[in-house]
A and B are shown apart, each in its own frame.
Chain A
Amino acid sequence: MGGVTLTSLRKSYGTTPVVKDLSLTIASGEFVALLGPSGCGKTTTLRMVAGLETPDAGQISIDGRDVTTLPPEARGLGMVFQSYAVWPHRTVAENVEYPLKLKGLGRADREAKVKEALGWVRLESLAARRPDALSGGQLQRVALARALVANPKVLLLDEPLSNLDVQLREELRAEIAALRARLRPTMIYVTHDQGEALALADRVAVMNGGVLEQVAAPQVLYGEPATPFVARFVGGANVVDAISEGSSVRIGDAAISCDVPLPMGRGQLVVRPEDVALEPGAGPLVTARLFLGGATEYHLAIGLKAVGSAHAGLAVGQPVRVTLRRARWFPL
C-alpha cells in the first residue's frame, strides 16, 4: 500500500492562484480529509493527485514514486466523483468491470472480482441493470465498487456525498467507513462538510485560500484550533476583535469576565457558543433568540453567539451579564 506526498504544489487558473505552495504527507493506509469552503483549492489539489490537472510547480509522489508528469491512467488510483460518473451506456456490472478489463484480467477472474465488489456495496441484485434505473445512492455505490474493484493503493473521493439527501448521506458515510476498515486503502476525501470530515478521517487538512491552515486529528482540530479560521469553520466558534485585560476582555464598549486568564493586549477572541454563559444583569443586549430544538441560541449586540438550555427566560432586548467559561486568544 502506498503513501502520498505532496511537495510545494502550486496551481493557477490564468492569473488567479488556486493552490499556493502546498505540502502534505499522507501515510500508507491513512484517511485524510481535505476540508474547506468552496473555492479554497481542495478539489484542485485532489485533481492534481489524480493527474486530471497538472501542477504549475511542485511534486507529487505515490508509494515513493514521482508521478507528477504521469497521465491519470498510469497512476493506478481509484476515484469517486461528486456527479457519480457512472457510464449510462454500460450496465452496473460492466461499469465495475471496466478497470479490470483495462488491466487485462481474464473473464473468469473479472466476473469473480465484480461479484465481490458488488457484494461490498450490497448491489449484487442490480448487476444487470442500466444506470438510468438507479437512484443517486445506488449510483454512488456503483462508483465506489468501480473505484475499489482493482484494489488501488490510493482512493480519491471528491465530495462523494454532496449530491445525496441527508438520510442517504448518513447511510453511505457508514458504508464508506466500513469499506475502509475492510480494504484499508490510503484515502483522500474532499468535502466542505466538517461533520463528514471529523466523523470519517484520521486527520483533517483544513484549506483556505489555497493554503493549509491546519492538519491534525479531528479531536485536536476541534479542541485546539491553530487559527481563528479553523475555529470558526470547524467548531462554529465566535471570532471577534477584542482587547484583553487579563481576567476580562473588552468587546466594543462592553466588558466581559473570563474564567480563564488571557494574555494582555489586542487580539482575536475565539470562543465556542456553548462556552458563553448568560444571566440577567448589566451588559450587552440580546438581539435575537433562536430555538434550535435541543438548545436555544442567543445573539448578542457585541457579535457573540451563545448556545445553552440554562438561559431559559431571557428575552430579546434584555441586557445580560456575560461570562466566558473557556476561550482561546490569538494576539494581533
Chain B
Amino acid sequence: MKRALALAVPLLVFALLPLGRLVFTGLGHLDAIVTPDAMRALRGTLLTSTGAAAFAFFLGLPLAVLLVRTDLPGRRALRAVFTLPSAVPPFIFGMGWVALANPKAGLLNLALGAGTFDIYGTVGIAFVLGACGLPLVVLAASAALERVDASLEEAARICGAGPLRTLAQVSVPLALPAALSGAALVFLFSASAFGVPYLLGVTASPPTSTLTTHVYALVLMGSGGIASAGAISVLLLALASAVLLASRLVKSAPLASGKGIRLRPLALGALRWPLGVFAFWLALALVALPLAAVFLTSLEPSFGRLEQLSLQHWQRLFQTPRVGWAALRSLGLSLAAAALVTAIGLAYALGRMRLGRAGRALELVASLPYAVPGTVLGMALLLSFSVDWRVVVGERIAFVLALANTLWLVLIAYVARHLAFGTRAATDGLTQADPSLTEAARVSGAGPWRALLDATLPQLKAPLTAAFTLTFLTCATELTLSVLLVPAGSDLLGTVLFELMSYADPAAASVLAGAFVLVVLAVQGGRSLIRTA
C-alpha cells in the first residue's frame, strides 16, 4: 500500500489537482465562453474536427479493407507508408502542405496555375488533420479485420456474393465499429491539435480560429487573459469528454468466433491493378508529397523557387547557436521524459497485481493527462504552478516548489502527458509475458530483483523500447504544451520550429523539419530491421 501511495502522490500533485484547479477556475469565468470570439473558436474546432474525422473515416475504412483482406499489389509497403504520419508531427505535414498549396507560391499552384489550391482556412485544416489522423482509422480497422475469420467471407461467396459485394456486406460491417472509434479518435486529435490550426488558420482570410489557438492568443495577452483561457480550456475538455464517452457507446461484435483464424486474401480479379495504382497514388499524394515538399523548401534559395537548389540553409541553420542550444535542451528533456515514462510505467505494471482496485483507479488517473487535450493539460499546469508552492510544516517553511518559468515544469508536463504510453506498454507486455519464466528463475535461486532483471525484463524489452522511442520522438518536437510552458529564453526544438515557420523563415524551419523526418525514418527503419532480424 505504501508503494501505491508513492506512485499516487506525484500523479495527484501533477495531474489530478491541476486539472481540478483548472475546472474550478474555468467554471468561475464562464462569461469568457459566451464571447463572440470564443463562439467562433468553438465553431472552428467543430468544423475542422468533424471534417478531419469524416475524411479519415471515409478514406481509412475502405483502405484498411483493401490492405488487410485483399490481394492488392504492394499492400505491405502501402500499409507502412499510410501509417507513417503517426510518427511525424502534424505540424511538419502542415508545413509540407503550405509549400505545396500556398495560393501564391505553392508548388502545386506554380505547376497548375496560381490559386488552384488554397490550403489556408477551415477546409485546409480539416484536410491536413484528416490526412495526419488517417493512421488512427486504418490501424483500428486493420486490427479488427485481422481478427476476422476468412470463412466469414468465404461463406458469403458460396451464398452467391461476388468479391466486391463480399467486401461491402461482410468485411466492411465487421470493421465498422473499430473504424468509428478510430474516427472519434481523429476528432479528439484534431480538436486537440494546435500547430496545424495555428499555421493554417491565423493567416487565412477570413482567419479560422479554434479553441486551442484561441487559448494561446489569450495566454499571450498576459495575466488578464489567463483566466479566460482557463475557461475556454474547460470548454475544450467538455467537448473532448463528450466525444470520448460517445465513442465508448459504439459496441463491437466479437469477431473471432471459431478457433483456427485464417487470413486468406480475397482475389480482386480485374480490379486488382487499378485499385493498386489508385492506392499508390493516394499514398504518394497524402504522405510522400508533403514530406518531399518540406525537403524541397529546405533546398530552395527562396520560397517557391526551384532553380539553384543548394544546402545553404542547412549550413546556415546548423551554425546558429540558438538552434544548437534548443536541440540540446530538447534532446535532454525528451530523453529524461522517455526514461521516466518507461520507468514509472514499469513500476506501475509490476505493482498493479498487488494493488487490486486501487491499481485500476491509478491507471485511470495515469491515462487522464493523455486523454485530455494537450492545451488543457498545459493550461492546468500553468494555472497551478504560476505561483510558488510553500509547504509549511509546523512554523517553518519545509520547502518551496517554485516551478513557474522553469524547464522542470515542461519536463513534468511531458512525463504526465505520455505516462499512459509507459503504463500501457508495460502492463500489456507483462500480461503477455510468461510468469513461469520468472518463477523458474526464483526456483533456480534468484532473488526477486535478480529474477526481475534476468527473466522478466528481457521479455518486456520490445514493449518498453517502443514506449521509450514513442515518448522520445513525440517530445522531441512537442509543440502544444511547449508553447504554453517554455520559459522565455529557453527555446526548444518545437518552439523554434514554430517560431521560424510562423513568423520569419520557412526555409530554416524546413531544414529543422527535414532533419527530424530523417531521424524518424532512421528510427522506424532501424526498428523494422531489428524486428525482421
Contact = CB atoms under 8 A, between A and B. Distances in A.
B157 A89 contact: no
B158 A83 contact: no
A83 B160 contact: no
B161 to A, nearest CB: 6
A129 B339 CA distance: 51
B149 to A, nearest CB: 5
Interface stretch (A69-77, A116-124, A196-204, A281-289): A69-77
B311 to A, nearest CB: 49
A87 B170 contact: yes
Interface in B122-177: 149, 151-152, 154-163, 165, 170, 173-174, 176
A88 B253 contact: yes
Contact of A146 (B154, B155, B170, B174): B155
Interface string B257-270: 11111001000000
Given A88-B174, A130-B253, A73 B157 contact: yes
Interface string A55-95: 00000000000000001111111110111111111000000
A99 B260 contact: no
B159 A99 contact: yes
A52 B157 contact: yes
Contacts of B158: 50, 72-73, 75, 77-79, 147, 156
B254 A81 contact: no
Contacts of A72: 154, 157-158
Given A73-B158, A103-B160, A88 B254 contact: yes
B174 A73 contact: no
A73 B162 contact: yes
Contacts of A163: 258-259
Interface in A19-74: 50-52, 71-74
B285 interface: no
B213 to A, nearest CB: 41
Contact of A71 (B157, B253, B264): B157
Contacts of B264: 52
B304 to A, nearest CB: 50
Contacts of B253: 88-89, 130-132
A229 interface: no
Contacts of B152: 85, 87
- Which of B155, B163, B260, B264 has the largest count of A CB atoms less than 10 A from its CB? B155
Nearest to A83: B258
A55 B257 CA distance: 29
A84 B258 contact: yes
B453 interface: no
A87 B159 CA distance: 12
B161 A73 contact: yes
A85 B159 contact: no
A144 interface: no
Contact of B254 (A78, A99, A132): A132
Contacts of A89: 173-174, 176, 253
A102 B159 contact: yes
Contacts of B261: 83
A137 to B, nearest CB: 13
Contact of B260 (A73, A82, A98): A82
A75 B155 CA distance: 13
B437 interface: no
A61 to B, nearest CB: 18
Nearest to A78: B158
A97 to B, nearest CB: 10
A contact residues, range: 35 or more
Nearest to A95: B155
B154 to A, nearest CB: 5
Contacts of B80: none
Interface in B63-95: none
B52 to A, nearest CB: 27
Contacts of B155: 79, 81, 85, 87, 143, 146
A81 B160 contact: no
Given A132-B254, A163-B259, A85 B157 contact: no
B255 A150 contact: no
Sort chain B's interface into a size bin. 20 to 34
Given A51-B157, A81-B154, A88-B174, A139 B162 contact: no
Contacts of A77: 158
A86 B154 CA distance: 11
A164 to B, nearest CB: 11
Given A72-B154, A83-B149, A88 B257 contact: yes
Contacts of A146: 155, 159
A89 B171 CA distance: 10
A150 B159 contact: yes
Interface string B231-272: 000000000000000000000011101111100100000000
Given A81-B154, A84-B257, A131-B257, A73 B149 contact: no
Contact of A98 (B156, B173, B255, B257): B156
Contacts of A71: 157, 162-163
Contacts of B176: 89
A73 B170 CA distance: 14
Contact of A83 (B151, B159, B174): B151
A82 B159 contact: no
Interface string A215-237: 00000000000000000000000
A85 B154 contact: yes
A85 B160 contact: no
A88 B259 contact: no
A75 B165 CA distance: 16
Nearest to B162: A73
A151 to B, nearest CB: 13
Contact of A102 (B161, B254, B259): B161
A160 to B, nearest CB: 11
B174 to A, nearest CB: 6
Interface string B33-74: 000000000000000000000000000000000000000000
Given A50-B158, A72-B154, A85 B254 contact: no
Contacts of A78: 158
A156 B154 CA distance: 13
A86 B151 CA distance: 9
B160 to A, nearest CB: 4
Nearest to B172: A89
> Interface centre among A51, A83, A87, A156, by most B CB within 10 Å?
A83
Interface of B: 149, 151-152, 154-163, 165, 170, 173-174, 176, 253-255, 257-261, 264
21 contacts: A51-B157, A71-B162, A72-B154, A73-B157, A73-B161, A76-B160, A79-B158, A84-B151, A85-B151, A85-B258, A86-B257, A87-B156, A88-B174, A89-B253, A98-B156, A102-B160, A103-B160, A130-B253, A132-B253, A139-B257, A146-B155
Interface of A: 50-52, 71-79, 81-89, 98-99, 102-103, 130-132, 139, 143, 146-147, 150, 156, 163
What 8 pairs between A and B have smallest CB-CB spacing?
A83-B258, A88-B253, A85-B151, A102-B160, A99-B159, A72-B157, A85-B155, A81-B151
Given A52-B157, A87-B174, 16 more contacts: A71-B162, A73-B162, A79-B154, A79-B158, A81-B154, A83-B261, A85-B257, A88-B174, A89-B173, A89-B176, A98-B156, A98-B159, A103-B160, A131-B253, A139-B257, A163-B259
